[in-house]
Amino acid sequence: MLGAAGRRAGTAEQVRVDVHNIRMRRRNRLNAARRALAKRSDVILTAVTGATSGMMGASNSSHERDTPPTPRDQEHTVTTSSSNRIAPIEYRVFTATRPGINPDLPAGYESLAWVANSATLIHGTRDAVLVDTFFTLEHSGQLADQIAATGKSLTHIYITHAHGDHFFGINTLKARFPSVRAVAPASVVERIQTRLEADTQLLRARFPGQIPDDPGVPDSLDGASIELEGQSLIPIETGFTDSADSTSLHVPSIGLIAAGDVVYNGIHPFLAETNGQTRLEWIDALDKLDALEPRAVVAGHKIPDNDDDPGNIAATRTYLRDFIRLEQTTDTPRALFDAMIELYPDRANPGSLWGGAIAAKSPAGNP
Ligand SMILES: [Zn+2]
């Protein structure tokens, strides 16, 4: 039914049932389920409340799923204790599912051409800090409703990196929560300024009528951390990952990392802005997050129903290593795309991989 799969169909028709065929059947089931999801992809907003206790050892099923992503809602409470205080800290992950940015990809992969953004609300008994926003007017309005429903006082919005899909909801949220401050490290703010115009045009072209006239930009964060009811939320500068000057936000007291786009969970990483050198820097960034020994890692793009398993750090690293290796052994974007799809048939948003394969095979792709 599709490019790479069509090529594999001859194998599937053989009497011999092997691992390859099993993967094809899994993929077909998954595609059928996701096709239904993608049809309503512009209106899906889900929330999952998480806690870092019990996350250890949770299965990482990000790219070997049999079940479609379905909304779910779980409640957990973590009590974090230190020598002189006990403060309950929880986090809630909101996801908004939408079509991928890159509408151009090889035929046959339409059912996977969706992606979900995450926004993580970290909160105590009274206050809350949001990590990243959504970007369409509709999703931002829904996110504001969800935050308001928690009854928490939103003090800060932390922006992890300069891609518009992570911060274009700032002004929509400010309209609903007038005292909130949107902040990011100075490097992120500077990077936003250099690319804001181009990113705005790109998103407006892809999502006409859905992008705010004035999305808002974050202020430079004063100090090294954001305080939430006596606990520190610490920006981790991760350098070049899926874009320049990316960061993650670490909450040491509960072992949480809101990773931004340093980590992907069940979604093809965005590689179109990377090159041979920066892909290695991205791996270094993943090592940096691993060294923090997190108990939960929220990817900036995740399958809504997937756990926020720290194993997604290693899974992203493996993906990048596979891409680096296969980039060197293939001659064309299509060959690289097909080779990666063989390894990652179930990841959502293959348009992201296609854009990355084209960039990698362009003359400037690998200086
Ligand atoms: Zn992103």
Ligand 1 centre distance from Cα of residue 223 (Å): 25
CATH node for 26-361: 3.60.15.10
What is the whole-number distance in angstroms between the Cα of residue 112 and the centre of ligand 1? 17
Ligand 1 centroid distance, CA of 360 (Å): 19
Distance CA 112, CA 41 (A): 11
Residue 299 Cα, ligand 1 centroid: separation in angstroms? 9
How far, in Å, is the centroid of ligand 1 from the Cα of 304? Answer: 15
In the reported structure, the alpha carbon of residue 355 is separated from the centroid of ligand 1 by a whole-number distance in angstroms of 14
- Ligand 1 centroid from CA 244, angstroms: 12
Calculate how far, in angstroms, residue 115's C-alpha sits from the geometric centre of ligand 1.
9
Give the pLDDT confidence score for residue 51 in this predicted structure.
53
**Å from CA of 101 to ligand 1 middle:** 10
The two tokens of residue 173 are: 């949220």
pLDDT in tens, 4-63: 333 333 333 333 333 333 344 444 444 444 444 433 333 345 566 655 543 333 333 333
* Phi, psi dihedrals of residue 160, rounded to the nearest 5°: -80, -35
The span from the first CA to the last CA of the chain, in angstroms, equals 37
> How many whole angstroms from 276 Cα to the centroid of ligand 1?
20
CA distances to 37, 44, 218, 257, 347 from 314, in Å: 28, 28, 30, 14, 15
DSSP alpha helices (H): ranges in the chain?
3-12, 19-39, 137-150, 170-176, 186-206, 276-291, 311-329, 333-343, 350-361
The ranges assigned to domains in the chain are 26-361
Distance 165 CA to ligand 1 centre (A): 6
Q: Would you state the pLDDT for residue 78?
A: 39
What sign does the dihedral 156-191-97-61 (CA atoms) show?
Answer: negative
Check residue 44 and give its pLDDT. Answer: 46
* Residue 243 Cα to ligand 1 middle (Å): 9
**What pLDDT does residue 364 have?**
65
pLDDT beneath 70: ranges in the chain: 1-87, 364-367
Ligand 1 mean position, distance from CA 205 (Å): 17
What pLDDT score was predicted for residue 63? 35
Assign 81 to helix, strand or coil: strand
pLDDT of residue 101: 84
